Amino acid sequence: MKSKNENDSMKPTAPNLDNRTDMIDSMYRRYSAPQWQSSRMRMRARIKSLAWRLTVRGAALAKRVIDVTLASLLLIALTPLFLFVALAIKLTDRGPILFKQRRVGLHGVEFTCPKFRSMVTNAEKLKDALLANNDHNNGITFKMKKDPRITGIGRIIRKASIDELPQLWNVVRGEMSLVGPRPPVPREVALYTISDRRRLEVKPGLTCLWQVKGRGDIAFPEQVKLDVEYIESQSVLMDIKLLIMTIPAVLFGKGAY
């Protein structure tokens, strides 16, 4: 018959957690050491990292080349149209030809955004009195279908998005891209939620996903959703597709007011 001490010695004992943790840590360090990793594995990791960086930088470079090339060509080709619009604004309204406004771009950096002036000269002061008539009920963006501040020539150039064309110069300067979320004004960005600020992760653009799907008819929450969709799936091919889709969107003028 076994004694009580012998029976006690045969019972399983709980492991010492401190020692067990030390042993696991020691084993992890030992077998994770560089000498246990083959040179082939390290080389594969470096090649994958390099390929990823080249892909990302290559896409950014291709986008920039397209931006500068097309924007420069358009600025030259559209010079007669610019002169005609400038003359029409001056003769019909006698005010400044361009309206310059501070906009928010990539990572919150502000820049000056020019447009052909399509509203009366004191439009910004009159805006506060019209906020109750905002067709965008979210209170962030302001759109009014029958905005009394728009001039006669302004309605024509806004319908065809001609008023935005001076921003081609911003594209050449690198402050904007041909394709990207439309640049907001600081007043709007101040009301953004954290998720809304995702729109600022890329350069703003002349056209974007919601511009070709309805422009001013798209409510702000849907604008953000479409901008994020573009940011997460952007590519050179997608940019070219959106540029092509912009042509019929401008011709039909849906949502432009």
Digitized pLDDT (tens) for each residue of the chain, 257 residues in all: 445 455 554 454 444 545 666 666 666 666 555 554 566 666 776 777 666 666 667 788 889 999 999 999 999 999 999 999 999 999 988 889 999 999 999 999 999 999 999 998 887 777 777 766 666 666 677 777 778 888 989 989 988 889 999 999 999 999 999 999 999 999 999 999 999 999 999 999 999 999 888 877 788 899 999 999 999 998 899 999 999 999 888 877 666 66
Q: Where are the alpha helices (DSSP H) in 94-142?
A: 123-130
Rounded to two decimals, the pTM is 0.74
- Indicate whether 57 belongs to any domain: no
How far does CA 125 lie from the centroid of its chain?
A: 29
Q: Where are the alpha helices (DSSP H) in the chain?
A: 4-10, 17-31, 39-77, 79-93, 123-130, 152-159, 168-173, 186-189, 209-213, 220-233, 236-252
- Indicate whether 124 belongs to any domain: yes
How far does CA 243 lie from the centroid of its chain?
A: 16
Among candidates 155, 179, 171, 129, which has minimal Cα distance to 253?
A: 155
* Alpha-carbon gap, residue 113 to 184, rounded angstroms: 10
Structural domain boundaries enclosing 132: 64-252
Mark residue 148 as left, alpha or beta (left: phi above 0; alpha: psi -120 to 50; beta: remaining).
Answer: alpha
- Indicate whether 24 belongs to any domain: no
* Alpha-carbon gap, residue 246 to 243, rounded angstroms: 5
Among candidates 172, 181, 119, which has minimal Cα distance to 150?
A: 119
Tell me the residue length of the chain: 257
* Segment 122-125 long-range contacts (CB within 8 Å, at least 24 positions apart): 123/99, 123/149
If one counts the domains in the chain, the total is 1
- Indicate whether 216 belongs to any domain: yes
Cα angle: 239, vertex 85, 173; to 5 degrees: 40
| Burial class of residue 119, CB neighbours in 10 A (0-12, 13-18, 19+) | buried
Joined together, the tokens standing for residue 93 give 């309204």
* Alpha-carbon gap, residue 57 to 247, rounded angstroms: 29
- Indicate whether 144 belongs to any domain: yes
- Indicate whether 4 belongs to any domain: no
Joined together, the tokens standing for residue 77 give 């080709």
- Indicate whether 87 belongs to any domain: yes
- Indicate whether 257 belongs to any domain: no
